[in-house]
Structure 1
Amino acid sequence: MTRIHAERALVEGRELTDVVIETAEGRITAITPGGSTEPADLRLGTVLAGSGNAHSHAFHRALRGRTHDQGGDFWRWREQMYAVAGRLTPDSYQRLAEAVFAEMLVTGWTTVAEFHYVHHRPDGTPHEDPNAFGTALAEAASSVGIRLTLLDTLYLSSAPGRPLLPEQRRFGDGSAAGWLGRWRDLRAGNGPVTIGAAIHSVRAASPDDIAQVAADLPPDVPLHVHLSEQPAENEQSLAAYGRTPTQVLADAGALTPRTWLVHATHLTDADIALIADSGAGVVMCPTTEADLGDGIGPARELADAGVRIALGSDQNAVIDPWLEVRGLEAGERLRSRQRGRFSPAELETARASAGYAACGLPGGLRIGACADLVEIDPESVRTAGAALDQLALVATATDVRRVVVGGRVVAEDGRLADGRDPAALFTHALKELG
């Protein structure tokens, strides 16, 4: 049991002062404003709920600052991404993920949904432990102290009706049944990690495969899918199935409240209605969608239809939850030429509790939620004068003082609690990767 005293905190949209937050077994059990401090309290200043990173590919971080001179579009970038994927081993990926998760933690991401599809050797043959890569990611998260939802991913084809490309062979399990068998083994030995599931995309799995996975996964398992990130995906789906990717998922029984759709950039009005009616959520990744030239998705239309919106760092070209928040709002302003497209409360939900929901966890600063908090400097050159409920619109990772996961300080002033520097971890990991 831990008692935390915050000078002020944003609690379900309200600014409260002298807030006592009581925790037990990693969850918040009581929140009391106007409380006094006790000697054993963990004392914090300005506190927000921890940020939920609802979509990440950790190994993409190796491409940061190394692809701009190549130009091109998403598909050109993908070739470079595959080259990095081809060099990964379980050991090198563990070191790389450790660095990436450490960077997430010190910037204020307190949980992450890792969309994981690098499974086997480059030629597609399994390791002695078929889940060696998943285990490596779990150990990396445990090492730094971030919560992890591991979204082991079904990836069977390069496009509708086409086999995996040579550079994609390590992603595949041969069939939906083969993937489900390996997934069950992974879940059986998950330990403290939340094991979720993902279907890479409608390009990477047939409607029958999608239906089998949707039917066979336990109903409490979060299911994530890349959806309509590129117009080419929509074109391929229409050509192969006569339906949009959203309609394919709906017809296969894969569009339900436990489903989270990543990107959802190029949707029709009918797609938006299907998503809203299903209760599924959408994960937007503004810094990645901008970096890759994907486009600006219909975030406001989705939200107006009642769709939950969460945020993710995706390719990790930027790891900063506060910039994802601003990217969501900025994209809407650019589309509409209007300000204030999302209220502070809506942006806070996207950053915190919706991101946690996508990870299959309770988030936000409320009783019953994970005891995950971020302390922000309210008087930096960026944040001075800002209202508490609008700090996320002005802060950056630099303004994060301390990070708490499960009631315990896990990062402080840009370093992990044990003193490790994420930059040094990454430098070492990149040398090992080659």
Structure 2
Amino acid sequence: MAEFYCQSALLPDGWADGVTIRVDDAGLIAGIDTDTQPAKEAARLGTVVPGLANLHSHSFQRAMAGLTERRGEGEDSFWSWRQLMYAFNDRLTPDHVEAIAAWVQVEMLESGFTSLGEFHYLHHGPDGTPYDDRAEMAGRVCAAAASTGIALTLLPVYYRYGGFNAAPAGHGQRRFLNDPDSYAALVEAAQAHVAALPHARLGLAPHSLRAAPVKDISAILPLVENAPFHIHIAEQTQEVEDCIAATGRRPVAHLMDHVAVNADWCLVHATHMDAGETTALARSGAVAGLCPLTEANLGDGLFPARDYLEAGGRIGIGSDSHIRIDLAEELRLLEYGVRLTARRRNALAAPGRSTGRTLFEAALAGGARALKQPAAGLAPGQRADFVELDTENPHLTGRSADALLDSWIFCGDKGCVRSVHVGGQAQVTAGRARARESALAAYRTAIADLLHGGG
């Protein structure tokens, strides 16, 4: 049994001082006491908040961040960006994928994320031939998590077609493709890699309605018991138009017509919903997986956050393409998008409530649900995932309680994070991840090879 003494901590019922957290050998919180004095053997921390889940990640895309910011001849959009991403993917080897994933996980930990949902669809060799281990690439993501200590929910992606109406896949999609039988073999192989990791879960991820028709989605859902299910949906207006043309229904409505969308589901992006879809998704118990920085970078549009939250909807956040990895900035941009359209401040908080705490607690609950990780806060039975904020950082000087959280989210960055524990184990100390140096060296080698042929 390990003990941690926190000068203050954000607990499910609010801020408390003199908090002692007891952690068992499995990394779960065995008990919490408040208004205590530090025991001699307790590790001493300052102000502590729960660790958040990053619920949507394509780790390999971090390596191309910043390389698509040159305008083409026509209008640039998600679709033109996607063609550049496909070309980049052709060069990625298993070693590259592991190195990039480890560096992404280091950046996440240093930002305050303690768990990760890896929406993984780069399965096969460059010509589409499966590796001897069908889950070779997924196994490399797991190997990265073993080295960094982040908690992982691996989400192998089902991707069959290039578009609606069973459109043939294109050259750039060869590495993603499976049918229901080959996907089942992939999932079985991935399970072996996940089973070797502490704090790991396996889920299922039909890529999108354009790549995975609803009959295939229904066929693959039983492959993993009690799995979380994630899907990209309604991210771009063209996708909505194509779905209506193919099915007569908008994407979220079409999915809910054919599949029991419930608390097991995370609908990623869900940017372009009408009022009926917004209310239906909010009432379903599913989580909307929002990635504000990526959605802004790709010009996708703004999620109807205010209407959705007022209808009781649940949200979590992810960093998706990893144009930047910064927990505070994701939450900040979510709020700012609503402020810019509604032309008012503190748009997502109830009267008298802290906006930072509102956003943080919503993302905490939604992220844990979406990943099916026992990390929904500092309470007995939850995993001991917590983040110590650096109250000596200039952005946080003189702040406490909600004002400290607001200052981190609205004027701070990852420099406000002092230490991070996952399952009671220190993975970040003095702002630097335990695995930083080895991960950075491998990442630099991978990037040099990808961009300059090893030069």
TM-score, normalised on structure 2? 0.91
Matched, 1:206 2:213: yes
1:429 maps to a residue whose letter is A
Match of residue 360 from structure 2? 348
The percent identity for this pair of structures is 38
Worse-superposed segment, 54-63 or 384-393? 384-393
* The one of 333, 338, 348 aligned to 2:339: 333
Worse-superposed segment, 284-293 or 390-399? 390-399
1:29 maps to a residue whose letter is A
Q: 1:355-374 to 2 correspondence within 5 Å?
A: 355-362=367-374, 363-374=376-387
Partners of 2:399 and 2:67 in 1: how far apart?
Answer: 35
Q: Which runs of 5+ in 1 are unaligned?
A: none
Alignment deviations for residues 107-132 of structure 1 (CA, whole Å, 9 cap, x no partner): 11110000000000122110111110
1:321–1:351 contact (8 Å) kept in structure 2: no
Matched, 1:149 2:150: no
Query: Shift of the alpha carbon at 1:78?
Result: 1.1
2:6–2:46 contact (8 Å) kept in structure 1: yes
* The one of 169, 179, 188 aligned to 2:174: 169
Q: 1:41-190 to 2 correspondence within 5 Å?
A: 41-70=42-71, 72-161=76-165, 162-173=167-178, 175-190=179-194
- Helix, strand or coil for the counterpart of 2:271? coil
Partners of 2:223 and 2:134 in 1: how far apart?
Answer: 19
Matched, 1:223 2:224: no
Matched, 1:416 2:429: no
- Helix, strand or coil for the counterpart of 1:62? helix
Alignment deviations for residues 283-329 of structure 1 (CA, whole Å, 9 cap, x no partner): 11111111111111101211111111111111111101111111111
* The one of 324, 328, 348 aligned to 1:322: 328
Match of residue 35 from structure 1? 36
Alignment deviations for residues 246-265 of structure 1 (CA, whole Å, 9 cap, x no partner): 12211221522101001111
Partners of 2:5 and 2:12 in 1: how far apart?
Answer: 17
Match of residue 390 from structure 2? 377
Query: Shift of the alpha carbon at 1:219?
Result: 4.9
Partners of 1:129 and 1:218 in 2: how far apart?
Answer: 19
Aligned residues: 432
2:177 maps to a residue whose letter is G
1:352 maps to a residue whose letter is L
Query: Shift of the alpha carbon at 1:37?
Result: 1.3
CA change 1:269–1:129 in 2 (3 A) is same
Worse-superposed segment, 119-128 or 408-417? 408-417
Partners of 2:99 and 2:438 in 1: how far apart?
Answer: 13
* The one of 267, 276, 281 aligned to 2:282: 276
Partners of 1:65 and 1:353 in 2: how far apart?
Answer: 31
Partners of 2:177 and 2:287 in 1: how far apart?
Answer: 26
Query: Shift of the alpha carbon at 1:276?
Result: 2.5
Partners of 1:422 and 1:48 in 2: how far apart?
Answer: 26
1:99–1:426 contact (8 Å) kept in structure 2: yes
Match of residue 386 from structure 1? 399
Partners of 2:307 and 2:287 in 1: how far apart?
Answer: 13
2:7 maps to a residue whose letter is E
1:152 maps to a residue whose letter is P
Partners of 1:103 and 1:371 in 2: how far apart?
Answer: 20
Partners of 1:328 and 1:115 in 2: how far apart?
Answer: 21
Match of residue 10 from structure 2? 10
Match of residue 412 from structure 2? 395
Partners of 1:189 and 1:325 in 2: how far apart?
Answer: 32
Query: Shift of the alpha carbon at 1:424?
Result: 4.2
Match of residue 302 from structure 1? 308
1:44 maps to a residue whose letter is L
Match of residue 406 from structure 1? 423
CA change 1:301–1:426 in 2 (3 A) is same
Partners of 1:17 and 1:268 in 2: how far apart?
Answer: 45
2:176 maps to a residue whose letter is F
1:176–1:209 contact (8 Å) kept in structure 2: yes
Alignment deviations for residues 370-391 of structure 1 (CA, whole Å, 9 cap, x no partner): 1011111123221224342242
Q: Which runs of 5+ in 2 are unaligned?
A: none
1:415–1:421 contact (8 Å) kept in structure 2: no
CA change 1:121–1:425 in 2 (3 A) is closer
Query: Shift of the alpha carbon at 1:351?
Result: 3.3
Worse-superposed segment, 388-397 or 363-372? 388-397
- Helix, strand or coil for the counterpart of 1:420? helix
Query: Shift of the alpha carbon at 1:425?
Result: 4.3
Worse-superposed segment, 309-318 or 85-94? 85-94
- Helix, strand or coil for the counterpart of 1:68? coil
Worse-superposed segment, 257-266 or 66-75? 66-75
